[in-house]
Amino acid sequence: MAGVDGGIMFPAERLRDWTQEVLQKVGVSRDDAALLTDSLIEANLRGVDTHGITRMLCVYVERIRRGVVSAKSNLVVVRQKASTALIDCRNSIGQVGAAHAMGMAIEKAKKTGVAFTAVTHSNHYGMAAYWAMMALPHGMIGFSSTNAPAAVAPTGGCTAMFGTNPFAVAIPADKEIPVVLDLATTVVARGRIVLHAKQNKPLEPGWAFDERGVPTTDPHTALKGLLAPIGGYKGYGIMLAVDFLCGILTGSNYGTHFPGFLADNMTDPTDVGSVFAAVNVESFMELPEFTAAVDKALVEIKTSTRTEGVKRIYVPGEIEFEMRADRLAHGIPIPEPVVKDFVALGEELAIPFPEA
């Protein structure tokens, strides 16, 4: 999981207000700050702290202050057909480009049934699920994917050529919670290896390779090496397809040409490409009929026979949905070192970080 276990609890709304002010102070418009903040706080609420303010805010702010990412958005639709659009984001904040592209996909899918849009010259867009989920209130199935800095070698190789290249799918339900699948195409995230290294805990077999491409369970060796794709050569193929769609088809960086897009790159624009799709359910079936069928199928899965010792069978997105309810009620945990960073950032910008 991508969540943090401990920390000081803060109400989501207090973190939201402070984050918006911080972003506006470094030059982000009111609307863009609200959007970017919402995507980050939603990640925290869902327990995906790796994509929340916890890990992202200081990095984003630093990249904006150094001009590596433009504070001001400047989006231009460079190609457009009835069901497609390519948006040149001109180094705007990734979330601004993503919201616009997914918004266009939804509007187009209302008319034509399905749409597929893309951004180029963009930046890190945060949690993939946030964009796919935009489709849900419109009775649509949402999809989003992005490439990322190379951390995985092709099968048989030992040069990192592919990122964790995540994708997300959101499928509306009726009374059940919607299906929200959001996964990196590596067996585990790099952060998981870092955690094991800190604890000197061996990795499980199949998680990583050393720098020569040999499987390893030593976390320190793995950190200098390569992550393993899901399903071996199958995951390698999925990553390649994601990279070719997000990187090549959009005219963005790909493969080894993809520079870092977070703390690993404080100098050069990243030129990320991402893709978005929306399928209007009513092009295939009446929405109430579909969501009722989804509910039925979800219940069948959740109530199917459990393996001994397993308390509950989850469907994709369910853990995050329950985490969201819990964190809305009890607050978002911010680890103490991150609180210190936030206090320091608040002092520097004269926007004091709130008390818990």
Element (H, E) at 223: helix 219-224
10 near its own copies, judged by CB under 8 A: no
355 near its own copies, judged by CB under 8 A: no
Buried b / exposed e over 119-137, threshold 16 CB at 10 Å, is bbbbbbbbbbbbbbbbbbe
Go through the chain and tell me how many residues it has: 356
- In the list 9, 30, 67, 112, the residue contacting its own copies (rule: CB under 8 A) is 112
Q: Lay out the site mask for its own copies across 148-187 (x = CB under 8 A, - = otherwise).
A: -----xxxxxxx-x-------x-x-------x-x-x-x-x
Q: Report strand pairing: 272-280 vs 114-122.
A: antiparallel
- In the list 11, 27, 103, 113, the residue contacting its own copies (rule: CB under 8 A) is 113
Closest approach of Cβ 120 to its own copies, in Å? 9
66 or 81, CB closer to its own copies?
81
Structure tokens belonging to residue 3: 């969540």
- In the list 48, 134, 135, 141, the residue contacting its own copies (rule: CB under 8 A) is 141
Instruction: With beta carbons less than 8 A apart as the criterion, state whether 109 and 78 touch.
Output: no
224 or 306, CB closer to its own copies?
306
Return the number of other C-beta atoms located less than 10 Å from residue 212's C-beta.
10
Task: State how far the alpha carbon of 283 is from the alpha carbons of 141, 171, 194, 208, 224, in Å.
Answer: 11, 15, 45, 43, 49
Interface with its own copies by CB under 8 A: which range of 12-20, 63-71, 209-217, 325-333? 209-217
Closest approach of Cβ 3 to its own copies, in Å? 15
200 or 304, CB closer to its own copies?
304
191 near its own copies, judged by CB under 8 A: no
Q: Lay out the site mask for its own copies across 213-242 (x = CB under 8 A, - = otherwise).
A: xx---------------xxx-xxxxx-xx-
d(CA 47, CA 37): 15
d(CA 200, CA 119): 40
- In the list 279, 332, 338, 345, the residue contacting its own copies (rule: CB under 8 A) is 279
Q: Report strand pairing: 84-88 vs 114-122.
A: parallel
Interface with its own copies by CB under 8 A: which range of 47-55, 57-65, 90-98, 287-295? 287-295
